[in-house]
Amino acid sequence: FSDADYKTKGNFIKWNPAVKTAADRDAILEAVLDGHIDVIATDHAPHTFEEKSQSYLQAPSGGPLVQHALQALLDLVKQGKMTLEQMVQKTAHNTAILFQIEQRGYIREGYWADLVLVDLNKPYTVTKENILSKCGWSPFENHTFTSTIEHTLVSGLLAYTDGKIQEVGSGHRLLF
């Protein structure tokens, strides 16, 4: 997003730090790619539609971003703005290294299988019906991503498939 999106998205992209110009957005991406920024993550803050619909000064900052973060990054990969390897390094490997998380962040024998299986050639349009966050909205609503998340495994167990979260108790405690 950039400051130009405030016209249509308003408080729904009111975040901290604030969404700024396209040049600022591009500079952040450059800082990610040249190593000044080590990790890509999202601050998932799923405020309700009603909370975000208040006046600007009353509306809380933050948004429900975790569901579509990977797809947004994969769009950057498809656009040639980063490589798939850079994306994996910044979202998985560096997180495990920085926080010294044991047996996570890599596909290795003996490590927990935290994996996402993606169809890189199947477009996915965000609609109210496929938003999984309990807040029921997304700043990406009506946006079509170039890729679709097919399955997610957490700690080796299927946690997401067929557009639905599987209630299987798949989480395991992280060890540092």
Cis peptide before 64, with omega less than 30 degrees from 0? no
Distance CA 153, CA 10 (A): 35
Pair of tokens at residue 174: 């992280």
Question: In sequence order, what are the beta bridge partners of 63?
Answer: 44
Neighbour-count burial of 176, counting CB atoms closer than 10 A to its CB (0-12 exposed, 13-18 middle, 19+ buried): exposed
* Dihedral sign, Cα of residue 2, residue 73, residue 38, residue 97: positive
Of these residues, 3, 26, 38, 43, which one is catalytic? 43
Active site residue 24: no
* CB of 137 closer than 8 Å to CB of 12: yes
* CB of 11 closer than 8 Å to CB of 54: yes
Catalytic residues: 43
